[in-house]
Amino acid sequence: MCFLFVFLAFGIAEAQQASWSPDRNIEIVIPAGAGGANDTTARIVQQIFQKHGIVSRPIVAVNKPGGAGTIGLTYLSQFRGDAHYLLNAAINVLTNYIIGRSKLRYSDFSPVALLHNEYLVTVVKADSPLKSGREMLRRLKADPTSLSLAIGAAPGGTAHLAMALVAKANGIDVRTFRTVGFKSFAESVTAVMGGHVDGAFILPAPALSGLESGQLRIIGITSRVRLSGDLANIPTWKEQGGDVEFSASRFILGAPGMTAAQIAYWDGAFANLVNTEEWRRTLDKGRLVSNYLGSGDTTHYLQRLEIQLRGALSDTGLVKRSAD
């Protein structure tokens, strides 16, 4: 009888490990303030999950801003093995670790899904003498200080990294560039349109109003191939000089130590989410590129991305931590 009890108990535990589903509220952690791109994406995920019944339990989106994303990541780290907590992550999860701002690495958590890529564009004022990315590179090779270029909110951000990768691919030291920082991509756009800087590396969405009004032109994009839609005529940097591909990826991290069954549940949930019409409209509106990957492929993607980011940050002179 004792043997039978132990056998049954083991069988129940094994069955519980074989499948998992949430039994209480889900929390999507947003490591940023309300109203930004991270916040918007997380709340769209929340809405789609609930509207289509993809996730049966209620979902709460919680903002944990501060520390360039480190506060949200630290918060998630407290819930080891609890798959009711997810974080909507951006590449600053990786860059914060590389430059020594955070002790937490992406591999300390449970990579769940890659949601999309967002490639960076290089914009100039509509009447700028720079007619192409190739011409910009020619000017910078001759004199790296000849142009002033906006890099968004901070050194080491996505714009600065994109600039560094384009520079390296063309044999130019990005540290010699005359860069200008602004509080946001919107301010970078305003500076370009006002003629205060010669160009800017930015995400596509903040540039749309300037493009539609005819005040801006795009002269390059960091995608490997040309995109579709209203960005179809934009030449890639690969076409104009150097093998460059870089995007501001958005991905989902789960709490540390999630089980295979927990990861499998979220694999299925996000696979269903990215096939909804609402998600496709979200990507189209933001000029985002669909690139859904499940948990295993996301882990491999982040491994490669970390190597790329470490190289770019080294080129900018911001690396403070040696490679592991």
Backbone phi, psi, residue 283, to 5°? -65, -45
Q: What's the full length of the chain, in residues?
A: 324
Stretch 93-117: mean pLDDT, rounded?
Answer: 97
The whole-angstrom separation of Cα 153 and Cα 182 is: 5
Backbone angles phi, psi at 308, to 5 degrees: -60, -45
Contacting residues for 160 by C-beta, under 8 A, at least 6 apart = 151, 152, 154, 174, 179, 201, 316
- Residue 319, pLDDT score: 86
Average pLDDT over residues 52-77: 96
Does 25-117+248-316 match 121-240 in CATH topology?
A: yes
CA 63/CA 34 separation, integer angstroms:
7
152 has a pLDDT exceeding 90: no
- Ranges 15-24, 41-50, 197-206: which has the least confidence: 15-24
C-alpha separations of 262 from 82, 215, 301 in Å: 9, 49, 20
Residue 59 has pLDDT above 90, yes or no: yes
pLDDT of 77 above 60: yes
pLDDT category, 36, cuts 50, 70, 90? confident
Strand order in the sheet with 110-117: 59-63, 26-30, 85-89, 250-254, 110-117, 289-293
Is the predicted pLDDT of residue 270 greater than 70, yes or no?
A: yes
Q: What is the chain's mean pLDDT, rounded?
A: 92
Place 18 in a pLDDT band, splitting at 50, 70 and 90.
low
Pairing of strands 148-150, 199-202: parallel
- Is pLDDT of 11 > 90? no
pLDDT digits (tens, 9 = 90+) for 278-316: 999 999 998 999 999 999 999 999 999 999 999 999 999
| Residue 24 or residue 1, greater confidence | 24
Assign domain 121-240 to its CATH architecture. 3-Layer(aba) Sandwich (3.40)
Mean pLDDT of 233-257: 95
Residue 126 confidence (pLDDT) above 80: yes
Q: CA torsion, points 224, 229, 233, 238, in degrees to nearest 10?
A: 0
Span 90-117, mean pLDDT?
A: 97
Find where tokens 């130019």 sit.
172
Q: Where are the domains of the chain?
A: 25-117+248-316, 121-240
Work out the average pLDDT over 128-152: 96
pTM above threshold 0.85: yes
pLDDT in tens, 21-33: 999 999 999 999 9
Instruction: Find the helix or strand (DSSP H, E) in which 73 lies.
Output: helix 70-76
Q: How far is the C-alpha of 147 from the C-alpha of 201, rounded, in Å? A: 13
Task: Reply yes or no on whether the pLDDT at 109 is more than 50.
Answer: yes
Per the listing, tokens 């889900």 go with: 26
Percent of the chain's residues with pLDDT above 70: 93
Range 25-117+248-316: architecture per CATH: 3-Layer(aba) Sandwich (3.40)
pLDDT value of residue 229: 86
Give the pLDDT score at 3: 47
The pLDDT value recorded for residue 322 is 54
**pLDDT value of residue 154:** 79
Of 277 and 155, more confident: 277
Dist CA 89 CA 111 (whole Å): 10
Supply the angle between the helices 260-273 and 37-51 in degrees, to the nearest 10: 90
Are the C-beta atoms of residues 196 and 167 closer than 8 Å to each other?
A: no
- Give the SS3 label for residue 324: coil
